[in-house]
Structure 1
Amino acid sequence: MRDEGLNYGQMMERALRGVMAEALAEVAAKGLPGDHHFYITFASTHGAARLPDWLREKYPDQITIVIQHEYDGLEVEPEGFRVRLSFSNRMADLYVPFDAVLTFVDPSVEFGLKFDATEIEPPDETEVEVEADPAPNSSADVVSLDKFRKP
C-alpha cells in the first residue's frame, strides 16, 4: 500500500471554510459591524443547496449573494448556513452548504477566499442546472488553494 502523505490542501481548505463559517456565525449573533458585508458565490447545482425554483432558473450553475442590507434569519449550522434575502424586492429562503461556496469576499477589508470547485456534489436528477452570475467588482485579495492541491 502506497503512503499518500498528508493532504495539506484539503486541510487548508477546511480551515479556511471554518474562517468563513466563524465570520457568518458572528454576524448571525451580533449583526454586521461597520462597513462589513459579504459577497458569497456558490454552486446552486450542489445537491444540498436550497433556493426557490424561480431563482435557480434565473441563475443556472452558480449565484452570487450579498449579505449586507436586505437579509434576515441568518443561521449557521455545522454544514452550511440559512439566510433570507431580497432579490428585486422578492424574498427568498436559501440554504448554502459550506462545501458549495466558491468564493467568500468581504470587500470592506479587502478579504477574500476562493475555494476548489472539484469537491462540489453533482446535482441529483430532480435539480436544475444553473448559470454563472458575474462576480462582484472588488479589489479584495482572493486566496486560491489550487497551488496546494495534488494533481
Structure 2
Amino acid sequence: MTQSGIDYGGMMHRAMQSLIADVLRDVARNGLPGEHHFFITFDTRDEGVEMADWLRERYPEEMTIVIQHWFDNLTVDDQGFTVTLNFGNSPEPMRIPFDALRTFVDPSVEFGLRFETQDGDDDEEEDADDTYEEVPADDDDPDDSPGGGEIVQLDHWRK
C-alpha cells in the first residue's frame, strides 16, 4: 500500500511479471509445449539489459525477440531472465530484466500482455474499456503468426 491508498497498478504489474517468470521457468525446465512460442518486446535502453553491442546499435530503443525453435541457456530469477538466441548463426546471450518488458505475446493461444510506462500523470477520465486491445500484426513478425489477441494494459492504473 502507498500513503494515498492501495497501489493496484503496481500490484498488477508485479503479478503480470510473476506470471511471465513462471511461464519462462516452466519452459526452461520442460521446453516449449505444442505450438507455444513467445514474442517478447523490451526496452533496450533499460540499465539492466545486457546484449551484444552490435544488437544494441541495431535496436537502440526497443527490440522484439522470438523464443521458439532455437534458444539455449534460458534461466529465470526474480528480476529477469537470460537466454541465448541465434542471430544469423551467431549465438548471442542476453539478459532482460522484467522491468524492461513492453509486451509478451504467445500467438499460438492469442495471449498477450502489454506493459507501458508513462512519464506524466494518468488521465483519471480514461474509460476502463481501454485496458484491453487487439494485438496489432507486426510487419516484422513471420507471415504465419496470428495477429490478434487480448492484451492487458497496466498503464491506466500506474502512477
Work out the number of aligned pairs and report it.
Answer: 136
Give the conservation status (yes or no) of the 8 Å contact 2:118–2:155: no
**Is the partner of 2:60 in helix, strand or coil?**
coil
Quote the offset at 1:19 in angstroms. Answer: 0.6
Q: In structure 1, what residue type is equivalent to 2:115?
A: F
Q: Which is bigger in relative contact order (C-alpha 8 A, separation at least 6)?
A: 1
Quote the offset at 1:44 in angstroms. Answer: 0.8
Hey, what does 1:27 align to over in structure 2?
27
Between the aligned partners of 1:25 and 1:92, the Cα distance in structure 2 is 20
- CA 28–21 in structure 1, closer or farther in 2 if over 3 Å, else same: same
Quote the offset at 1:91 in angstroms. Answer: 1.3
Q: For 1:94-113, what per-residue CA distance to the aligned partner results, in whole angstroms no more than 9, with x for missing partners?
A: 00001101100000010000
**Is the partner of 1:72 in helix, strand or coil?**
strand
TM-score normalised by the chain length of structure 2: 0.79
Hey, what does 1:44 align to over in structure 2?
44
Between the aligned partners of 1:75 and 1:4, the Cα distance in structure 2 is 37
Give the conservation status (yes or no) of the 8 Å contact 1:39–1:106: yes
Between the aligned partners of 1:4 and 1:135, the Cα distance in structure 2 is 42
Between the aligned partners of 1:79 and 1:140, the Cα distance in structure 2 is 26
Between the aligned partners of 1:23 and 1:29, the Cα distance in structure 2 is 10
Hey, what does 2:152 align to over in structure 1?
143
Hey, what does 2:111 align to over in structure 1?
111
Q: In structure 1, what residue type is equivalent to 2:103?
A: T
Any stretches of 5+ residues in structure 1 without a counterpart?
120-132
Quote the offset at 1:145 in angstroms. Answer: 1.1
TM-align CA RMSD: 2.0
